[in-house]
Amino acid sequence: MTVTIDELLPKLVKKVDILLEYNGVKVLDRRVAELLKLIDRYGSILLASKSLGVPYSRAWEWVTKIEYVLGIKVVERRRGGVKGGGTSLTDDGRKLLKYYEDLLKEYGLHELQLKKGFRGIPQLMIAGSHDIVLEVFIGYLRRKYGVDIEVSWIGSSGGLAALMLNETDIATAHLYDEVSGTYNIPFLRNYWLDGKVVVIRGYQRELVFAYHPSLSFSDVDEILEGLVKGEVRLVNRNVGSGTRVLLDTLIRRFCKDHGLNYRDVVSNIRGYGLQVRTHVDVAKAIIEGRGDVGLMLRCSAELYNLKYIHVKWENYDFIILRDRSSKEYVKRFIDELASNELMSLIRRYPGYKVNEELGKVIYS
């Protein structure tokens, strides 16, 4: 039986809602406002995201976007302390939320609807830097143990912040400290994690500058020069990712060597503000023509048949809260780091190396 448009129109449900923009960019709608209200209720981004039914990484993305676009802090991250960290709305965050709720009342719209309770906390939470091998390895662990694992690719710094807030069991990171020439451990004090975590050595990954097959470069300096001069477009990673930290380090070195002002250079790099969340997303953006070059894993570059130039080998490590290290599935994760399954995965993918310290505690 065919239904006519005249019969359908009266049956369509009409909904009107409030959406707030700043300089043409959306910063707040009903879902984001509900997230803020739940953060205020639970004192936790994790519990708020579970109650709302959105991924933890998406919740972080919403909060970060508001703060970036408006230039204010809406969520306060409480570091350390006897009971560990936590989150709460700042005064500005509460004012923004109240402004939104007042608008709903003013226009006679439904108040924010908050569910009672939330979906159970996953048996294992992993947050931090994106990695292709780890994605496949986590799939293996889910199948082997039937375990509920939630993964949030929020960057290396985001992973450490999540540890600080007691909102993840394991963080993954590859943050390079130029002064000491080491990875991850020098950054622990920035997040009040000294003495509260163990760092387990992971594996090595090859980072490359990858670019569209139609282009040609002889070395890293030529790519950086092209970016600085605006001759090629960058696809950047999200703020807080280890890859972003390394890229900024490379640009600073280039500026120092050529007597350039770093801030001026960054503001003129085409595509510096085009941020994506994973290495694969960088490769996709280049193939789709949204940029010309990006810093990424060699594995991602080869997956999308991009040309590339070697930048460096790096350490990709696992940081675990000491008081979570005896948790059943955390222990199983640690044990599996020495498994043949992970070894074979590392050898199967290009741009990966097995570190002889793999699975060993390098900081406690």
For tokens 């709460």, name the residue.
Answer: 88
What are the chain's domains?
A: 16-106 (1.10.10.10), 121-364 (3.40.190.290)
Task: Give residue 82's pLDDT.
Answer: 37
Helix (H, G, I), strand (E, B) or coil at 335: helix
Partners of 22 in the β-ladder: 25
At 79, the pLDDT band (50, 70, 90 cuts) reads low
At 81, the pLDDT band (50, 70, 90 cuts) reads very low
Helix (H, G, I), strand (E, B) or coil at 307: strand
Contact predicate 61/141, CB 8 Å: no
- Calculate mean pLDDT across residues 312-317: 96
**Percent of the chain whose predicted confidence (pLDDT) is above 70:** 96
Q: For the segment 248-275, what is each residue's pLDDT rounded down to a tens digit? A: 999 999 999 999 999 999 999 999 988 8
The neighbour count for residue 136, using CB atoms within 10 Å, is 14
The neighbour count for residue 299, using CB atoms within 10 Å, is 21
Task: Give residue 42's pLDDT.
Answer: 86
Q: Where are the alpha helices (DSSP H) in 172-241?
A: 220-228
- Calculate mean pLDDT across residues 171-192: 93
pLDDT at 54 over 70: yes
At 28, the pLDDT band (50, 70, 90 cuts) reads very high
Q: For the segment 335-351, what is each residue's pLDDT rounded down to a tens digit? A: 999 899 999 999 999 99
Which tokens go with 29?
Answer: 């709608």
Task: Give residue 310's pLDDT.
Answer: 98
Tell me the C-alpha distance between 98 and 3, whole Å: 44
Tell me the C-alpha distance between 169 and 249, whole Å: 29
pLDDT at 83 over 70: no
Q: For the segment 92-110, what is each residue's pLDDT rounded down to a tens digit? A: 999 999 999 999 999 988 8
Task: Give residue 119's pLDDT.
Answer: 59
Task: Give residue 344's pLDDT.
Answer: 93
pLDDT mean across residues, the chain: 91
Contact predicate 131/316, CB 8 Å: yes
Tell me the C-alpha distance between 266 and 273, whole Å: 10
Q: For the segment 117-175, what is each residue's pLDDT rounded down to a tens digit? A: 655 678 999 999 999 999 999 999 999 999 999 898 888 998 998 999 888 999 999 99
pLDDT at 84 over 80: no
Which tokens go with 69?
Answer: 């676009």
- Calculate mean pLDDT across residues 68-93: 79
